Amino acid sequence: MSELEIEGKTVEEAIKTGLAKLGVSKDKVKIKILNEGANGLFGLMGSKPAKVLLIADGVELNDGIDYDLAETKSKKTIAEILKLMGFAVEKVDASSGSGAVLCNIKSADSSLIIGKNGQTLDSLEHIVNLIVNRNAETRVKINLDTEDYKLHQVQRLKELTLKAAEQVKISGKTHRFDPMSAKDRRIVHVTLKDVEGIETFSEGEGIFRKVVIKPKK
């Protein structure tokens, strides 16, 4: 299954671009509108792109990425950065799937690598992406984890999301999450994409952007 989040001047343009990249027709994908976009003042100031999430079963992105090279470069980059930071690194494992590379760090300093609320790990991930993505052959999303920290966080978020959706269905009242990152918002949208009786959308700007669940009319 491929999940592609893509932007365009309009929702229709974003969908068209995404379908072309996936190489499938519209009837072969599930479409979630994440942001309808805005034209802004005179079509210039304050304009924001539309954003959609396309989900296609049985389709893998043919993006021309050398995943073996991306894995090798990622592991080497992570090890070098952590060594310079004074952290002990036992091993860095890497695997590819769903258009991304996942690197798992094994270290006696894993708690320090994670940092408060995962901030150090997120910063390391950002730096590794900047370095590895400089080469077109390895321009792919690099996801970092250690001690399954992010895996557990994702599982927890999915559980909270399903509980919130059930409450919305029972009460008939809209639920708004606290502001969260684009990655976490995507997890919420994907988790609820097949849940009947509710719909999700994002609202707010920048660091205040959040996901809303409301009853489907």
Cα torsion angle, 146, 66, 73, 55, sign: negative
pLDDT tens sequence across 1-11:
567 778 888 88
pLDDT of residue 23: 73
Q: Does residue 125 or residue 182 have the better pLDDT?
A: 125
Residue 107: alpha-carbon gap to chain centroid: 25
Q: What is the mean pLDDT of residues 103-111?
A: 95
pLDDT of residue 137: 83
Q: Does residue 60 or residue 72 have the better pLDDT?
A: 72
| pLDDT confidence tier of residue 165, bands split at 50, 70 and 90 | very high
Pairing of strands 141-146, 100-106: parallel
Q: What is the mean pLDDT of residues 99-125?
A: 92
pLDDT of residue 213: 96
Extract the tokens encoding 129.
């992406």
Residue 3 phi, psi (nearest 5): -125, 120
pLDDT of residue 79: 95
pLDDT of residue 44: 47
Query: Is the pLDDT score of 126 beyond 60?
Result: yes
pLDDT tens sequence across 181-211:
888 999 999 999 989 999 999 999 888 999 9
Query: Is the pLDDT score of 63 beyond 80?
Result: no
Question: What is the percentage of the chain residues whose pLDDT exceeds 90?
Answer: 52
pLDDT tens sequence across 128-149:
999 998 887 888 889 999 999 9
pLDDT of residue 135: 84
Q: How many CB atoms lie within 10 A of CB 142?
A: 25
Query: Is the pLDDT score of 41 beyond 70?
Result: no
Q: Which domains does the chain have, with CATH numbers?
A: 2-56 (no CATH), 67-147 (3.30.300.20), 152-215 (3.30.1370.50)
Element (H, E) at 32: strand 30-35
Mean of pLDDT over the chain: 87
